[in-house]
Amino acid sequence: MNTTPFRWLAVVVCLLMAQLSPAQSPDMANEDRDMVRVMRHPDGSRSVYKRQMGWRGMRCATYTPSGKLAAINDYTEGKYGQLVACVIYDNKRQPIYKVSYGYDGQARLIEERMFSCPGNKLVQRVIYRYDANGNRAKPLIISLNNSSSGLAPTITDDVTNAHRQLRGNRRR
């Protein structure tokens, strides 16, 4: 006797019941219906991603292994769902960083800029490059620190060389 149709029916019934019944996971027990995803990290911490009602974006709250709030990231999405900005808060809900995202004419992410908050000083840039087939290469990360003389690169290549390298890759 072929039991394959009955197995498929059982799977469909289980999926339907799972959608109708309350959340079973302890991670999801106290979360709103707007939840998008729960990620468990190797260190035991977890991140809960939720959509915000009436707001084009998503909130990611990260909790320590003991369940205490570690950080909150509020992502703002553009008209087509692309990330345009992010505000990063500490565990006391004080803003510590603001991030902006830049795209090229093909809607590919080409740069992230992170600014300190308060102060609005550039602290990090992540530059994304693509090969001729459109595959993203390893990003170029430029970390900046606050020194008495202003912002100083903390990597061996300076920003000017990084831009020269990027311009050279675009000409190919």
Q: What is the CATH number of the domain that holds 156?
A: 2.40.128
Quick one: average pLDDT of 51-64? Answer: 87
pLDDT at 53: 74
The residue type of 164 is R
pLDDT at 164: 55
Q: Are residues 109 and 171 in the same domain?
A: yes
Nearest C-alpha neighbor of 125 from the set 96, 154, 149: 154
Q: Give pTM, 2 decimals.
A: 0.62
Do residues 49 and 58 make contact, with C-beta atoms less than 8 angstroms apart?
Answer: yes
Which residues on neighbouring strands pair with residue 94, listed in sequence order? none
- Residue 166: CB atoms within 10 A of its CB come to 15
Q: Which residue has the higher pLDDT, 102 or 145?
A: 102
Report d(CA 123, CA 116) in Å as an integer.
Answer: 6
**Which of 11, 41, 74 is the last residue in one of the domains?**
74
Q: Are residues 101 and 167 in the same domain?
A: yes
pLDDT at 52: 73
Question: Per mean pLDDT, which range of 67-71, 120-124, 130-134, 142-146 is the poorest?
Answer: 142-146
Q: Which residue has the higher pLDDT, 90 or 29?
A: 90
pLDDT at 79 over 70: yes
Write out the residue range of the structural domain in which residue 128 sits.
94-172
Q: Are residues 160 and 119 in the same domain?
A: yes
Q: Is residue 147 part of a domain?
A: yes
pLDDT at 10: 41
Do residues 123 and 113 make contact, with C-beta atoms less than 8 angstroms apart?
Answer: no
Quick one: average pLDDT of 144-161? Answer: 48
Strand blocks (E) in 23-155: 35-40, 46-51, 57-63, 69-77, 83-89, 95-103, 109-116, 122-127, 140-147, 150-153
Do residues 137 and 130 make contact, with C-beta atoms less than 8 angstroms apart?
Answer: yes
Quick one: average pLDDT of 119-143? Answer: 94
pLDDT at 76: 93
pLDDT at 39: 92
Q: Is residue 145 part of a domain?
A: yes
pLDDT at 110: 95
Nearest C-alpha neighbor of 113 from the set 86, 151, 76, 134: 86
Q: Are residues 114 and 163 in the same domain?
A: yes
Going by pLDDT thresholds of 50, 70 and 90, the confidence category of residue 165 is: low
Q: Are residues 60 and 124 in the same domain?
A: no
Q: Is residue 12 part of a domain?
A: no
For the chain, the domain total comes to 2
Q: Is residue 88 part of a domain?
A: no
5 preceded by cis ω (within 30°)? no
Report d(CA 98, CA 89) in Å as an integer.
Answer: 9
Q: Is residue 104 part of a domain?
A: yes
pLDDT at 80: 84
Q: Are residues 100 and 171 in the same domain?
A: yes
Quick one: average pLDDT of 4-17? Answer: 38
pLDDT at 161: 52
Q: Which long-range contacts (CB under 8 A, 24 or more apart) does 165-171 make?
A: 165/140, 166/127, 166/129, 166/140, 169/129
Q: Is residue 11 part of a domain?
A: no
